[in-house]
Amino acid sequence: MTRNILYTFIILCLTVLSGHSAQAASLIVGYCDGELAEKGVGKSGIGTISVAVCFPQEMLAQYAGTHITGIRVGLTTSENMTELVGWVRTDLTGDNAASGSFATQTAGWNETDFDTPYLIDGNSDLYLGYSFTQQLKQAKCISLVGKPSQYGYYLAKDNEWQDKGLESEGVVSIEMYIEGDNLPANDLEIESCFFDNNVQPTGTPFSATCVIRNVASSPIEGYNLTYQINDGEELQLTVGKTLQYRQRDTLRIEIPADALPLGVSSLSTSVAIKGDVADDNTDNNSQTIPFATYDNTFNHIVLLEQFTSEECPNCPRGIFAIDDAMKVYGDKVVHVAHHSGYTADWLTIDDSDTYVWLYGPDGSYAPAKMVDRRRLSEEYPVESIADADDVISAIEAVLPNPSLVEAIPVVNYNETTREAKITVTCSKIDAFDVQCPQSRLTLFLVEDSVKAVAQAGISSSSFKHANVVRDVASDDVWGDIIPWSGNEATMSYTVTIPEDWDETRMTAVVFVSNYNPDDRNDCNVYNAAKQSFNTPEAVGTTRINKEVSHTEFYSIQGFRLLSEPTDGIYIARIIYTDGSAAVIKRVARR
């Protein structure tokens, strides 16, 4: 399967000092925002330990013609390390393009000039780092702060590098001095603008936060923030305070409910320095962000993902807890089991192992669960399983979330060829585009009641595994981008079921979600559904001139119903006396 990994750039910290040298103003550029961690990390082993961050070419282009004159390194301790050297390189494993030694090193910020300033040409990536000698005892001196970034943390012993950017606790506390005559003297930016909740039901007021920052050498003596809803009246907030270099200011924008139409709207903001002072960089003076209202939703079906293994002696506890929880919420939850997160067993697949990333950087365990891939009580979406009440509480925490999208799978299975054609119809309302601009559809092939080989922690020879994820049939393990046409989309998949899978117990599980490779907590699932393979005819076909034995009724999400609905869309499975069956999509109206 093709794996498409998308990366986004972290906004860089730009700090302006009144002067690192007497000849020119100096910018401090880094990812860490001048922060220092209380406790550090390290790397074991005798040798040279090196740490670095990367500044990509596209970010450095704005500094072409300026010089990197020095480096500042934040250390949490100076113990067990000697010969600290700061450097810049065009290749991690290459020679230093410029460097400077530290006469001493202390806990806190350490600064040094490069022996020769490095000219930035803006035509290549640059790596800023430091190296030191370590003896027997590990030097836990590396400061990691903020959120992880793909460019924010590289680590090596004896020049054997590891990219730890997205698997770390933050970015390295390291910054470079940039000097040049063409650096801006006055530069006020809108660093960020965001809503507390950017999608809400009609009749609800909205609140937005704008963070304003001075990123140049001169103090800013007041500013004006102008904002506008859609094409409406421009409103202005005037702020008289002085912003020194590195200083931020936070403003709130309150939008009353009666000012908003149904659907998608935009908030446009711009900032300007008060008086006759010109801003030397107007590219960062404005931002426009979307938000939306809605007046109807779809039925929300929760995706409950379990992590388990036959090698795990505690996993039967989690299995039985989920079984009890499904007795309470089975009609509102789609349950699947990944045999990953613990020692692999015969049901482990590579695709399920990929989802172990959602545990976070500190490792995995079982039994564990995720509900709609949302962060609840832990730092990341995956949580342990205590008992049935624990699972029920997690379900109840996400079940009230409104669903602005739905996906309906229909399975057409050929018993002779063992080929299944799965057609998924997706529908959304306009507000969903704001909630999830790059929505994805994932398709799981799930087999129920799989007889265990040797489940640890249980003595029963008849034990069976429930809802095992056999394959991720979407092209991308994180889901395929949904090709919306207006508010509708149709996606089709063809799969062949192996002979050792029981097709009568197979289910197609689909869900709509986001995927952010830079943030485990931004991979939320917005709705799920399932359809059994035990419906051999395509929806919409009927059999005529045959005697009906009985009819089964299912919700549009694939759950068996006790009786025929009197309102809404549902699926009828008609079983004939000759054993054949037909599946029909029906609409009932009161």
Domain ranges of the chain: 13-179, 188-294, 302-532, 548-588
Residue where the block lists tokens 């309470």: 328
Give the DSSP H or E segment for 289.
strand 286-294
Contact 447, 514 (CB under 8 A): no
| Identical topology for domains 13-179 and 188-294 | no
User: Average pLDDT for residues 312-319, to the nearest whole number?
Assistant: 96
CB 464 within 8 A of CB 502: no
**CATH topology assigned to domain 188-294:** Immunoglobulin-like (2.60.40)
Cβ–Cβ under 8 Å, residues 340 and 356: yes
| Residue linked to tokens 């800013």 | 220
Closest-CA residue to 421 (of 497, 353, 481, 488): 497
At 362 the pLDDT is: 85
Range list of β-strands (E), 158-274: 160-163, 171-172, 174-179, 188-195, 199-201, 206-214, 220-229, 235-243, 248-255, 263-273
3-class state of residue 368 by DSSP: strand
DSSP 356: G
Whole-number pLDDT of residue 14: 43
d(CA 76, CA 139): 10
Q: Quick one: 158 exposed, middle or buried, by C-beta within 10 A (0-12, 13-18, 19+)? A: exposed
**pLDDT mean over 151-158:** 96
| Cβ pair 405, 432 in contact under 8 A | yes
Amino acid of residue 183: L
Residue at 51: amino acid letter: V
Residue 291: in which H helix or E strand, if any? strand 286-294
Cβ contacts of 393 within 8 Å, gap of 6 or more: none
Decide: 406 and 525 in contact? Cβ < 8 Å. no
Mean pLDDT of 292-303: 96
Q: Could you report the per-residue pLDDT of 160-170, keeping only the tens digit for each?
A: 999 998 878 89
pLDDT band at residue 15, thresholds of 50, 70 and 90?
very low
Asked if 164 and 148 count as a contact pair (C-beta separation under 8 A), the reply is: no
Closest to 97 in 3D by CA, of 87, 106, 105, 108: 87
Token pair 């054997």: residue: 160
Could you tell me the two tokens for 342? 């613990």
How far is the C-alpha of 323 from the C-alpha of 330, rounded, in Å? 9
In sequence order, which residues have a C-beta less than 8 Å from that of residue 489 and are 6 or more positions away?
A: 425, 426, 482, 483
Judged by phi (left if over 0) then psi (alpha if -120 to 50, else beta), residue 467 lies in left
* Mean pLDDT, residues 243-248 taken together: 89
Q: Per-residue pLDDT for 569 more than 90? A: no
Output the furthest CA–CA distance in the chain (Å, rounded): 96
What is the C-alpha separation between 133 and 80, in angstroms, rounded? 9
Alpha-carbon Rg for the chain in angstroms = 29
Buried b (16+ CB within 10 A) or exposed e, 434-467: bbbeebbbbbbbbbbebebeebbebeeeebebbb
* Confidence at residue 181, expressed as pLDDT on a 0 to 100 scale: 83
Name the helix (H) or strand (E) containing 116. Answer: strand 108-119
Pick the range with the lowest mean pLDDT from 83-87, 347-351, 432-436, 585-589. Answer: 585-589
Residues 6+ apart with CB under 8 A from 127: 52, 53, 54, 55, 88, 89, 90, 91, 92, 154
pLDDT at 21 over 60: no
Q: What is the mean pLDDT of residues 74-96?
A: 96
Residue tagged 């020095």 (tokens):
70
Where residue 562 falls among pLDDT bands split at 50, 70, 90?
confident
Q: Helix crossing, 315-329 with 388-398: angle to 10°? A: 50
- Where does 302-532 sit in CATH, by number? 2.60.40.10
Q: Which two tokens stand for residue 183?
A: 């650096």
Give residue 13's pLDDT: 41
Contact 378, 389 (CB under 8 A): no
pLDDT of 538 strictly over 70: no
Q: What is the pLDDT of residues 196-236, one digit of tens each?
A: 999 999 999 999 999 999 988 789 999 999 999 999 999 99
pLDDT at 289 over 80: yes
- Is domain 13-179 classified as CATH 2.60.120? yes
Output the six-digit token pair for 377.
């009580």
Amino acid in the structure at residue 146: G
Mean pLDDT lowest for which of 187-191, 258-262, 340-344, 369-373? 258-262
Closest CA to 317 of 255, 386, 414: 386
DSSP category for residue 353: H
Peptide bond preceding 367 in cis form (omega within 30 of 0): yes
98 SS3 class: strand
Strands 405-414, 383-384: pairing kind: unpaired
User: Comparing C-alpha atoms, which of 346, 378, 350 is closest to residue 365?
Assistant: 378
**Alpha-carbon gap, residue 258 to 311, rounded angstroms:** 58
Least confident of 403-417, 421-435, 576-590: 576-590
Predicted TM-score (pTM) of the model is 0.76
Q: Is the pLDDT of residue 460 over 70?
A: yes
Tell whether the model's pLDDT for residue 283 goes beyond 60: yes
Number of Cβ within 10 Å of residue 330's Cβ equals 13
Q: What ranges make up the beta strands (E) of 372-505? A: 383-384, 405-414, 419-428, 440-447, 450-451, 464-465, 468-472, 480-481, 488-496
